[in-house]
């Protein structure tokens, strides 16, 4: 199956799942990055403009992130909202400080992502919608997503696509090269990039997942990330069932 053919499979899956769930629309967090851009294009093709709402959620973000998301919305003619979560974030951090607790950078970054998840679900509940996710195969395998953050979604349409395939697919949908080839970053703090945080390049990660040879250092890093993130992909642990007398 070619990538072009598989994208049609995803579109059908997205359309069918919305109907089967008896919900009215999809709700998507639109960041301006390549993954959310692709999911936006897929959704619009699959269910139409009126059954997709994109929400841009800056939280002390680089202004260019919002600009890119707005450019994408204009390119694809998307319905969108802008909900700024900065005040919610700062008030929460301040409450911790009142208790003498200083949150570290990683915790602060994940707090931002979880506030965004809350915004998406608040809107989805209001309109009778499903939150659609943007994790790709690389992110899912390494656990490069926030538990109950960007990992807290109802459906994962591009979870079987490698990062390079996401970029290629974006171009197939007519998304500009500038957005498709943007340096991958969640924009959670100054200078943050996916590859720096993961400690491995997407090219090596793609190749590893394809079963190709990569250098031992990158291989060890990928296997380490996969191992320590297993709890993110597994069902919630529970004890044996209570068998009543």
**Which residues are identified as catalytic?**
35, 139
Give how far Cα 100 sits from Cα of 88, 92, 96, 115, Å: 19, 13, 7, 22
Residue 2, judged by CB atoms within 10 A of its CB (0-12, 13-18, 19+), counts as exposed
Taking the C-alpha atoms of residue 144 and residue 123, their distance in angstroms, rounded to an integer, is: 25
Q: How far apart (Å, rounded) are the C-alpha atoms in residues 150 and 195?
A: 17
Residues 192 and 110 sit within 8 Å (Cβ to Cβ): no
Cβ burial, residue 230 (10 Å; 0-12/13-18/19+)? exposed
How far is residue 48 from each of residues 8, 26, 111, 147, 212, measured CA to CA in Å? 14, 10, 32, 30, 38
The Cα diameter of the chain in Å comes to 65
Scanning the chain, the segments in alpha helix (DSSP H) are 3-21, 34-47, 63-76, 86-98, 105-127, 137-142, 163-172, 177-180, 194-198, 202-209, 216-228, 230-233
Run of H or E including 29: strand 25-29
């Amino acid at each position: 199956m070619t990538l072009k053919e598989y994208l049609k499979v995803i579109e059908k899956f997205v359309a069918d799942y919305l109907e089967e769930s008896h919900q009215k629309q999809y709700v998507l967090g639109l960041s301006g990055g390549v993954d959310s851009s692709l999911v936006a294009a897929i959704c619009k093709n699959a269910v139409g403009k009126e059954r997709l709402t994109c929400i841009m959620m800056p939280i002390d973000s680089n202004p260019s992130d919002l600009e890119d998301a707005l450019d994408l919305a204009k390119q694809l003619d998307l319905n969108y909202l802008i909900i700024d979560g900065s005040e919610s974030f700062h008030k929460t951090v301040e409450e911790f400080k009142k208790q003498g607790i200083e949150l570290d950078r990683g915790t602060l970054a994940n707090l931002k992502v979880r506030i965004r998840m809350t915004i998406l679900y608040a809107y989805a509940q209001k309109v009778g919608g499903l939150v659609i996710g943007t994790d790709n195969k690389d992110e899912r395998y390494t656990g490069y997503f926030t538990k109950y953050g960007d990992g807290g979604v109802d459906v994962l349409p591009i979870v079987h696509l490698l990062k390079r395939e996401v970029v290629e697919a974006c171009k197939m949908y007519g998304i500009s090269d500038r957005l498709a080839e943007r340096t991958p970053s969640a924009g959670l703090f100054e200078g943050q990039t996916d590859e720096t945080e993961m400690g491995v390049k997407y090219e090596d990660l793609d190749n590893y997942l394809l079963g190709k040879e990569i250098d031992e250092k990158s291989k060890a890093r990928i296997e380490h990330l996969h191992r320590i993130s297993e709890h993110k992909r597994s069902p919630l642990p529970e004890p044996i069932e209570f068998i009543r007398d």
